[in-house]
Structure 1
Amino acid sequence: MSFHFPAFFSGLTIALGLLVAIGPQNTFVLKQGIARAQIVAIVTVCILCDILLITLGVAGLGAFISSQPMLIRIATWGGAAFLALYGFRSFRSAMKASSLQTGGSVQTTRRGAILAAMAFTLLNPYVYLDTVVLMGAVSSRFSEALPSYWLGCVTTAVCWFGGLGFFAGRLAPLFARPFSWRVLDSMVGVIMCATAWHLLSSFG
Protein backbone atom coordinates (compact mmCIF):
# COMPACT_ATOMS: atom_id res chain seq x y z
CA MET A 1 0.00 0.00 0.00
CA SER A 2 1.55 3.29 -1.14
CA PHE A 3 2.13 6.34 0.98
CA HIS A 4 -0.58 9.00 0.60
CA PHE A 5 0.76 12.45 1.50
CA PRO A 6 -2.59 14.34 1.65
CA ALA A 7 -3.92 11.80 4.17
CA PHE A 8 -0.65 11.95 6.14
CA PHE A 9 -0.79 15.76 6.20
CA SER A 10 -4.42 15.69 7.34
CA GLY A 11 -3.52 13.41 10.23
CA LEU A 12 -0.54 15.61 11.06
CA THR A 13 -2.51 18.85 11.21
CA ILE A 14 -5.66 17.47 12.86
CA ALA A 15 -3.63 15.81 15.61
CA LEU A 16 -1.60 19.00 16.08
CA GLY A 17 -4.74 21.06 16.59
CA LEU A 18 -6.12 18.62 19.13
CA LEU A 19 -2.98 17.67 21.09
CA VAL A 20 -1.35 21.10 21.45
CA ALA A 21 -4.22 22.62 23.45
CA ILE A 22 -3.13 23.22 27.05
CA GLY A 23 -4.91 20.68 29.22
CA PRO A 24 -4.17 18.39 32.17
CA GLN A 25 -1.93 15.99 30.23
CA ASN A 26 0.20 18.70 28.63
CA THR A 27 0.38 20.65 31.89
CA PHE A 28 1.66 17.59 33.73
CA VAL A 29 4.32 16.87 31.08
CA LEU A 30 5.40 20.53 31.10
CA LYS A 31 5.74 20.62 34.87
CA GLN A 32 7.76 17.41 35.01
CA GLY A 33 9.93 18.64 32.13
CA ILE A 34 10.73 21.90 33.93
CA ALA A 35 11.72 19.90 37.00
CA ARG A 36 13.66 17.43 34.80
CA ALA A 37 12.05 14.63 36.79
CA GLN A 38 11.52 11.22 35.15
CA ILE A 39 10.71 12.93 31.87
CA VAL A 40 11.87 10.03 29.66
CA ALA A 41 9.45 7.64 31.34
CA ILE A 42 6.61 10.18 31.22
CA VAL A 43 7.07 11.10 27.56
CA THR A 44 7.29 7.42 26.64
CA VAL A 45 4.05 6.60 28.47
CA CYS A 46 2.19 9.55 26.92
CA ILE A 47 3.35 8.65 23.42
CA LEU A 48 2.53 4.95 23.76
CA CYS A 49 -0.90 5.64 25.26
CA ASP A 50 -1.76 8.16 22.55
CA ILE A 51 -0.62 5.77 19.81
CA LEU A 52 -2.86 3.09 21.29
CA LEU A 53 -5.86 5.43 21.54
CA ILE A 54 -5.33 6.83 18.03
CA THR A 55 -5.13 3.29 16.68
CA LEU A 56 -8.38 2.35 18.42
CA GLY A 57 -10.05 5.47 17.06
CA VAL A 58 -8.95 4.79 13.50
CA ALA A 59 -10.14 1.20 13.94
CA GLY A 60 -13.66 2.44 14.75
CA LEU A 61 -13.89 2.46 18.55
CA GLY A 62 -14.95 6.10 18.60
CA ALA A 63 -18.36 5.32 17.14
CA PHE A 64 -18.95 2.69 19.83
CA ILE A 65 -18.00 5.04 22.68
CA SER A 66 -20.24 7.78 21.31
CA SER A 67 -23.20 5.40 21.42
CA GLN A 68 -22.70 4.49 25.11
CA PRO A 69 -23.97 7.38 27.29
CA MET A 70 -23.47 5.43 30.55
CA LEU A 71 -19.83 4.74 29.69
CA ILE A 72 -19.30 8.43 28.95
CA ARG A 73 -20.92 9.41 32.25
CA ILE A 74 -18.74 7.02 34.29
CA ALA A 75 -15.58 8.23 32.55
CA THR A 76 -16.62 11.85 33.08
CA TRP A 77 -17.18 11.57 36.82
CA GLY A 78 -14.07 9.44 37.37
CA GLY A 79 -11.87 11.77 35.33
CA ALA A 80 -13.30 14.89 36.99
CA ALA A 81 -12.67 13.46 40.46
CA PHE A 82 -9.05 12.67 39.60
CA LEU A 83 -8.39 16.10 38.07
CA ALA A 84 -10.01 17.94 40.96
CA LEU A 85 -7.97 15.95 43.47
CA TYR A 86 -4.72 16.75 41.67
CA GLY A 87 -5.77 20.38 41.34
CA PHE A 88 -6.34 20.75 45.09
CA ARG A 89 -3.04 19.00 45.68
CA SER A 90 -1.31 21.61 43.50
CA PHE A 91 -2.97 24.45 45.43
CA ARG A 92 -1.76 22.89 48.67
CA SER A 93 1.78 22.60 47.30
CA ALA A 94 1.71 26.27 46.30
CA MET A 95 0.91 27.26 49.88
CA LYS A 96 3.49 25.03 51.58
CA ALA A 97 6.88 26.69 51.50
CA SER A 98 8.62 23.47 52.51
CA SER A 99 7.56 21.75 49.28
CA LEU A 100 8.78 24.45 46.92
CA GLN A 101 12.38 23.30 46.91
CA THR A 102 11.40 20.06 45.18
CA GLY A 103 8.95 21.66 42.80
CA GLY A 104 5.77 21.08 44.72
CA SER A 105 3.86 18.03 43.58
CA VAL A 106 6.40 16.86 40.98
CA GLN A 107 6.67 13.08 40.69
CA THR A 108 10.27 12.14 41.46
CA THR A 109 10.10 8.32 41.41
CA ARG A 110 9.82 6.35 38.18
CA ARG A 111 6.86 4.34 39.43
CA GLY A 112 4.99 7.46 40.58
CA ALA A 113 5.75 9.26 37.32
CA ILE A 114 4.55 6.37 35.16
CA LEU A 115 1.36 5.93 37.16
CA ALA A 116 0.65 9.67 37.07
CA ALA A 117 1.29 9.86 33.31
CA MET A 118 -1.07 6.93 32.74
CA ALA A 119 -3.69 8.54 34.96
CA PHE A 120 -3.53 11.92 33.21
CA THR A 121 -3.84 10.14 29.88
CA LEU A 122 -6.34 7.37 30.56
CA LEU A 123 -8.53 8.99 33.23
CA ASN A 124 -9.11 12.20 31.29
CA PRO A 125 -12.19 11.86 29.03
CA TYR A 126 -10.93 14.70 26.83
CA VAL A 127 -8.05 12.49 25.70
CA TYR A 128 -10.56 9.94 24.40
CA LEU A 129 -12.58 12.70 22.77
CA ASP A 130 -9.50 13.99 20.94
CA THR A 131 -7.80 10.74 19.95
CA VAL A 132 -10.49 8.07 19.74
CA VAL A 133 -13.63 10.02 18.80
CA LEU A 134 -12.46 13.04 16.77
CA MET A 135 -9.37 11.60 15.08
CA GLY A 136 -11.31 8.39 14.53
CA ALA A 137 -14.21 10.28 12.98
CA VAL A 138 -11.96 12.10 10.50
CA SER A 139 -10.31 8.80 9.54
CA SER A 140 -13.60 7.72 7.96
CA ARG A 141 -12.81 10.11 5.10
CA PHE A 142 -9.94 7.87 4.05
CA SER A 143 -10.09 4.24 2.94
CA GLU A 144 -7.00 3.02 1.11
CA ALA A 145 -5.03 5.91 2.64
CA LEU A 146 -5.97 5.07 6.24
CA PRO A 147 -2.41 3.95 7.23
CA SER A 148 -1.01 7.27 6.00
CA TYR A 149 -3.58 9.22 8.03
CA TRP A 150 -2.77 7.11 11.12
CA LEU A 151 0.96 7.73 10.59
CA GLY A 152 0.36 11.47 10.44
CA CYS A 153 -1.53 11.46 13.76
CA VAL A 154 1.12 9.31 15.43
CA THR A 155 3.98 11.46 14.11
CA THR A 156 2.40 14.53 15.70
CA ALA A 157 1.98 12.76 19.05
CA VAL A 158 5.62 11.63 19.09
CA CYS A 159 7.01 15.04 18.11
CA TRP A 160 4.72 17.04 20.41
CA PHE A 161 5.25 15.11 23.64
CA GLY A 162 8.95 14.61 22.94
CA GLY A 163 9.46 18.33 22.30
CA LEU A 164 7.28 19.47 25.18
CA GLY A 165 8.94 17.19 27.71
CA PHE A 166 12.55 17.69 26.77
CA PHE A 167 12.55 21.39 25.81
CA ALA A 168 10.65 22.34 28.96
CA GLY A 169 13.93 21.71 30.79
CA ARG A 170 15.25 24.95 29.29
CA LEU A 171 12.88 26.79 31.62
CA ALA A 172 14.52 25.21 34.68
CA PRO A 173 16.70 28.27 35.54
CA LEU A 174 13.55 30.38 35.79
CA PHE A 175 12.12 27.95 38.31
CA ALA A 176 15.15 27.99 40.58
CA ARG A 177 13.20 30.53 42.64
CA PRO A 178 10.49 29.23 45.03
CA PHE A 179 8.09 31.95 43.87
CA SER A 180 8.11 30.55 40.32
CA TRP A 181 7.05 27.13 41.58
CA ARG A 182 4.33 28.75 43.66
CA VAL A 183 2.94 30.44 40.52
CA LEU A 184 3.21 27.25 38.44
CA ASP A 185 1.50 25.13 41.07
CA SER A 186 -1.30 27.67 41.27
CA MET A 187 -1.73 27.65 37.49
CA VAL A 188 -1.76 23.85 37.42
CA GLY A 189 -4.42 23.84 40.13
CA VAL A 190 -6.59 26.26 38.15
CA ILE A 191 -6.28 24.25 34.92
CA MET A 192 -7.05 20.94 36.64
CA CYS A 193 -10.08 22.22 38.55
CA ALA A 194 -11.41 24.19 35.58
CA THR A 195 -11.15 21.10 33.37
CA ALA A 196 -12.93 18.99 36.00
CA TRP A 197 -15.74 21.57 36.22
CA HIS A 198 -16.07 21.78 32.45
CA LEU A 199 -16.24 17.99 32.21
CA LEU A 200 -19.11 17.81 34.70
CA SER A 201 -21.00 20.75 33.21
CA SER A 202 -20.65 19.41 29.65
CA PHE A 203 -20.94 15.63 30.04
CA GLY A 204 -21.93 14.91 33.64
Structure 2
Amino acid sequence: MITAGLTGFSTSISLILAIGAQNTLVLRQGLARAHVLPVVLFCAISDAVLIALGVAGFSAIVDQYPSLPKIMAWGGAIFLFVYGAMRLYAAATSDYANEMAGRSLPLRQVLFTLAGVTWLNPHVYLDTLALIGAISTKFPAMDEKLSFAFGAVSASFVFFFALGFGAKYLAPFMRSPRTWRVLDVGIAIVMFAIAILLIAK
Protein backbone atom coordinates (compact mmCIF):
# COMPACT_ATOMS: atom_id res chain seq x y z
CA MET A 1 0.00 0.00 0.00
CA ILE A 2 2.84 2.37 0.80
CA THR A 3 4.38 1.79 -2.63
CA ALA A 4 1.04 2.44 -4.32
CA GLY A 5 0.51 5.64 -2.34
CA LEU A 6 4.01 6.95 -3.10
CA THR A 7 3.56 6.09 -6.78
CA GLY A 8 0.28 7.98 -6.88
CA PHE A 9 1.79 11.01 -5.12
CA SER A 10 4.92 11.16 -7.30
CA THR A 11 2.96 10.65 -10.52
CA SER A 12 0.45 13.36 -9.70
CA ILE A 13 3.00 15.91 -8.48
CA SER A 14 5.20 15.42 -11.55
CA LEU A 15 2.24 16.09 -13.84
CA ILE A 16 0.93 19.08 -11.94
CA LEU A 17 4.27 20.89 -11.55
CA ALA A 18 4.25 22.03 -15.17
CA ILE A 19 3.27 25.68 -15.42
CA GLY A 20 -0.13 25.82 -17.04
CA ALA A 21 -3.24 27.94 -17.25
CA GLN A 22 -4.65 26.72 -13.95
CA ASN A 23 -1.40 27.20 -12.05
CA THR A 24 -0.90 30.75 -13.31
CA LEU A 25 -4.38 31.73 -12.12
CA VAL A 26 -3.75 30.24 -8.68
CA LEU A 27 -0.44 32.09 -8.51
CA ARG A 28 -2.09 35.35 -9.51
CA GLN A 29 -4.77 35.03 -6.82
CA GLY A 30 -2.12 34.12 -4.27
CA LEU A 31 -0.10 37.21 -5.14
CA ALA A 32 -3.22 39.36 -4.86
CA ARG A 33 -4.04 37.60 -1.55
CA ALA A 34 -7.66 37.37 -2.63
CA HIS A 35 -10.02 34.34 -2.51
CA VAL A 36 -7.00 32.07 -1.99
CA LEU A 37 -8.70 29.35 0.07
CA PRO A 38 -11.71 28.81 -2.23
CA VAL A 39 -9.44 28.95 -5.28
CA VAL A 40 -7.02 26.28 -4.06
CA LEU A 41 -9.90 24.15 -2.78
CA PHE A 42 -11.65 24.37 -6.14
CA CYS A 43 -8.52 23.24 -7.99
CA ALA A 44 -7.65 20.46 -5.56
CA ILE A 45 -11.20 19.11 -5.40
CA SER A 46 -11.51 19.23 -9.20
CA ASP A 47 -8.31 17.20 -9.45
CA ALA A 48 -9.59 14.79 -6.81
CA VAL A 49 -12.79 14.16 -8.77
CA LEU A 50 -10.91 13.60 -12.02
CA ILE A 51 -8.30 11.36 -10.40
CA ALA A 52 -11.04 9.28 -8.78
CA LEU A 53 -12.77 8.89 -12.14
CA GLY A 54 -9.50 7.95 -13.80
CA VAL A 55 -8.67 5.31 -11.21
CA ALA A 56 -12.24 4.00 -11.49
CA GLY A 57 -11.73 3.45 -15.23
CA PHE A 58 -13.66 6.38 -16.69
CA SER A 59 -11.11 6.73 -19.51
CA ALA A 60 -12.88 3.84 -21.27
CA ILE A 61 -15.78 6.20 -21.99
CA VAL A 62 -13.44 8.62 -23.75
CA ASP A 63 -12.24 5.75 -25.96
CA GLN A 64 -15.81 5.28 -27.21
CA TYR A 65 -16.11 8.94 -28.25
CA PRO A 66 -12.94 9.71 -30.23
CA SER A 67 -14.22 13.13 -31.36
CA LEU A 68 -14.66 14.35 -27.76
CA PRO A 69 -11.02 15.39 -27.20
CA LYS A 70 -11.05 17.53 -30.37
CA ILE A 71 -14.28 19.26 -29.38
CA MET A 72 -12.90 19.95 -25.93
CA ALA A 73 -9.62 21.17 -27.41
CA TRP A 74 -11.36 23.82 -29.50
CA GLY A 75 -13.57 24.87 -26.61
CA GLY A 76 -10.58 25.15 -24.32
CA ALA A 77 -8.51 27.01 -26.91
CA ILE A 78 -11.23 29.62 -27.44
CA PHE A 79 -11.57 30.12 -23.71
CA LEU A 80 -7.80 30.49 -23.26
CA PHE A 81 -7.50 32.94 -26.17
CA VAL A 82 -10.23 35.11 -24.66
CA TYR A 83 -8.68 35.05 -21.21
CA GLY A 84 -5.23 35.77 -22.62
CA ALA A 85 -6.63 38.77 -24.49
CA MET A 86 -8.22 39.99 -21.26
CA ARG A 87 -4.88 39.83 -19.48
CA LEU A 88 -3.18 41.75 -22.31
CA TYR A 89 -5.92 44.36 -22.14
CA ALA A 90 -5.42 44.65 -18.38
CA ALA A 91 -1.67 45.03 -18.89
CA ALA A 92 -2.28 47.88 -21.32
CA THR A 93 -4.96 49.74 -19.37
CA SER A 94 -4.96 48.84 -15.66
CA ASP A 95 -3.24 50.72 -12.84
CA TYR A 96 -3.41 47.54 -10.71
CA ALA A 97 -4.59 49.43 -7.64
CA ASN A 98 -6.94 46.59 -6.71
CA GLU A 99 -4.25 43.92 -6.98
CA MET A 100 -1.77 45.88 -4.89
CA ALA A 101 -4.48 46.46 -2.29
CA GLY A 102 -5.33 42.76 -2.16
CA ARG A 103 -8.60 43.07 -4.06
CA SER A 104 -9.63 41.06 -7.12
CA LEU A 105 -12.62 40.13 -9.21
CA PRO A 106 -15.65 38.76 -7.34
CA LEU A 107 -15.23 35.16 -6.24
CA ARG A 108 -17.92 33.96 -8.66
CA GLN A 109 -16.01 35.33 -11.65
CA VAL A 110 -12.71 33.92 -10.41
CA LEU A 111 -14.22 30.45 -9.98
CA PHE A 112 -15.91 30.67 -13.38
CA THR A 113 -12.54 31.36 -15.01
CA LEU A 114 -10.91 28.55 -13.05
CA ALA A 115 -13.69 26.18 -14.08
CA GLY A 116 -13.01 27.05 -17.72
CA VAL A 117 -9.26 26.47 -17.62
CA THR A 118 -9.75 23.31 -15.55
CA TRP A 119 -12.70 21.51 -17.13
CA LEU A 120 -12.23 22.69 -20.74
CA ASN A 121 -8.58 21.68 -20.91
CA PRO A 122 -8.15 18.25 -22.59
CA HIS A 123 -4.67 17.96 -21.08
CA VAL A 124 -6.29 17.73 -17.65
CA TYR A 125 -8.26 14.70 -18.80
CA LEU A 126 -5.20 13.18 -20.44
CA ASP A 127 -3.23 13.51 -17.20
CA THR A 128 -5.93 12.41 -14.77
CA LEU A 129 -8.37 10.13 -16.58
CA ALA A 130 -5.93 8.54 -19.02
CA LEU A 131 -2.39 8.62 -17.61
CA ILE A 132 -3.07 8.38 -13.87
CA GLY A 133 -5.89 5.94 -14.60
CA ALA A 134 -3.55 3.76 -16.66
CA ILE A 135 -0.81 3.75 -14.02
CA SER A 136 -3.34 2.83 -11.35
CA THR A 137 -3.98 -0.46 -13.17
CA LYS A 138 -0.59 -1.64 -11.91
CA PHE A 139 -2.26 -1.98 -8.53
CA PRO A 140 -5.24 -4.32 -9.04
CA ALA A 141 -5.95 -4.92 -5.34
CA MET A 142 -8.62 -2.57 -4.00
CA ASP A 143 -6.59 -1.42 -0.99
CA GLU A 144 -3.60 -0.61 -3.23
CA LYS A 145 -5.83 1.17 -5.75
CA LEU A 146 -7.33 3.31 -2.97
CA SER A 147 -3.86 4.05 -1.62
CA PHE A 148 -2.69 5.09 -5.11
CA ALA A 149 -5.70 7.40 -5.52
CA PHE A 150 -5.16 8.90 -2.05
CA GLY A 151 -1.51 9.59 -2.86
CA ALA A 152 -2.39 11.25 -6.17
CA VAL A 153 -5.13 13.38 -4.59
CA SER A 154 -2.82 14.35 -1.71
CA ALA A 155 -0.27 15.65 -4.21
CA SER A 156 -2.87 18.00 -5.70
CA PHE A 157 -3.84 19.39 -2.30
CA VAL A 158 -0.21 19.85 -1.26
CA PHE A 159 0.72 21.57 -4.53
CA PHE A 160 -2.21 23.97 -4.80
CA PHE A 161 -2.12 24.99 -1.13
CA ALA A 162 1.64 25.57 -1.36
CA LEU A 163 1.27 27.58 -4.57
CA GLY A 164 -1.69 29.66 -3.44
CA PHE A 165 -0.59 30.45 0.10
CA GLY A 166 3.14 30.42 -0.66
CA ALA A 167 2.70 33.16 -3.26
CA LYS A 168 2.44 35.71 -0.44
CA TYR A 169 6.20 35.46 -0.02
CA LEU A 170 6.55 36.95 -3.50
CA ALA A 171 4.18 39.81 -2.62
CA PRO A 172 7.01 42.24 -1.71
CA PHE A 173 8.13 42.05 -5.34
CA MET A 174 4.62 42.89 -6.59
CA ARG A 175 4.30 46.40 -5.19
CA SER A 176 4.32 48.26 -8.47
CA PRO A 177 2.00 48.29 -11.48
CA ARG A 178 4.98 47.39 -13.67
CA THR A 179 5.54 44.00 -12.02
CA TRP A 180 1.82 43.18 -12.21
CA ARG A 181 1.89 44.20 -15.87
CA VAL A 182 4.81 41.85 -16.54
CA LEU A 183 2.93 39.04 -14.76
CA ASP A 184 -0.20 39.59 -16.84
CA VAL A 185 1.75 39.63 -20.09
CA GLY A 186 3.45 36.41 -19.02
CA ILE A 187 0.09 34.83 -18.19
CA ALA A 188 -1.27 35.90 -21.58
CA ILE A 189 1.70 34.30 -23.35
CA VAL A 190 1.15 31.04 -21.43
CA MET A 191 -2.56 31.08 -22.29
CA PHE A 192 -1.93 31.70 -26.00
CA ALA A 193 0.79 29.02 -26.13
CA ILE A 194 -1.43 26.40 -24.51
CA ALA A 195 -4.35 27.36 -26.77
CA ILE A 196 -2.19 26.94 -29.88
CA LEU A 197 -0.90 23.57 -28.66
CA LEU A 198 -4.46 22.40 -28.05
CA ILE A 199 -5.62 23.01 -31.61
CA ALA A 200 -2.32 22.22 -33.38
CA LYS A 201 -2.63 18.48 -32.71
1:4-83 correspondence to structure 2 within 5 Å: 4-83=1-80
Considering only aligned residues, what root-mean-square deviation do their CA atoms show, in Å? 1.5
Determine if contact 2:54/2:132 at 8 Å carries over to the other structure. Answer: yes
- Partners of 1:192 and 1:66 in 2: how far apart? 27
SS in structure 2 at match of 1:21: coil
Q: Which runs of 5+ in 2 are unaligned?
A: none
Task: Please list the CA deviations of residues 9-37 of structure 1 after superposition, one character each: whole Å capped at 9, or x if unmatched.
Answer: 11011001101110000011001100111
Structure 1 vs Structure 2: percent identity of aligned residues?
38
**Residue 66 to residue 107, structure 1, CA distance change in 2 (3 Å):** farther
The Cα shift of 1:97 comes to 3.8
The Cα shift of 1:39 comes to 0.9
The Cα shift of 1:107 comes to 4.4
The Cα shift of 1:171 comes to 1.1
Determine if contact 2:32/2:99 at 8 Å carries over to the other structure. Answer: yes
Task: State yes or no: 1:112 paired with 2:109.
Answer: yes
Partner AA of 1:111 in structure 2 = R
Indicate the residue corresponding to 1:191 in structure 2: 190
- Partners of 1:76 and 1:57 in 2: how far apart? 19
- Partners of 2:194 and 2:59 in 1: how far apart? 21
- Partners of 2:175 and 2:104 in 1: how far apart? 17
Q: Which runs of 5+ in 1 are unaligned?
A: none
Indicate the residue corresponding to 2:173 in structure 1: 174
Partner AA of 2:99 in structure 1 = G
Indicate the residue corresponding to 1:103 in structure 2: 99
- Partners of 1:113 and 1:186 in 2: how far apart? 18
- Partners of 2:111 and 2:104 in 1: how far apart? 9
Determine if contact 1:62/1:134 at 8 Å carries over to the other structure. Answer: no
- Partners of 1:85 and 1:107 in 2: how far apart? 19
Task: Please list the CA deviations of residues 119-167 of structure 1 after superposition, one character each: whole Å capped at 9, or x if unmatched.
Answer: 2211111111111111011111111110110011011011000110001
Q: TM-score, normalised by structure 2?
A: 0.93
SS in structure 2 at match of 1:141: coil
4+ residue segments displaced more than 3 Å: none
Determine if contact 2:32/2:104 at 8 Å carries over to the other structure. Answer: no
Partner AA of 1:83 in structure 2 = L
- Partners of 1:97 and 1:57 in 2: how far apart? 41
SS in structure 1 at match of 2:19: coil
- Partners of 1:122 and 1:107 in 2: how far apart? 22
- Partners of 1:26 and 1:107 in 2: how far apart? 17
118, 121, 137: which one aligns with 2:118:
121
Task: Please list the CA deviations of residues 40-68 of structure 1 after superposition, one character each: whole Å capped at 9, or x if unmatched.
Answer: 11111111111000000001112321442
Determine if contact 1:79/1:125 at 8 Å carries over to the other structure. Answer: yes
Determine if contact 2:73/2:122 at 8 Å carries over to the other structure. Answer: yes
- Partners of 1:66 and 1:191 in 2: how far apart? 29
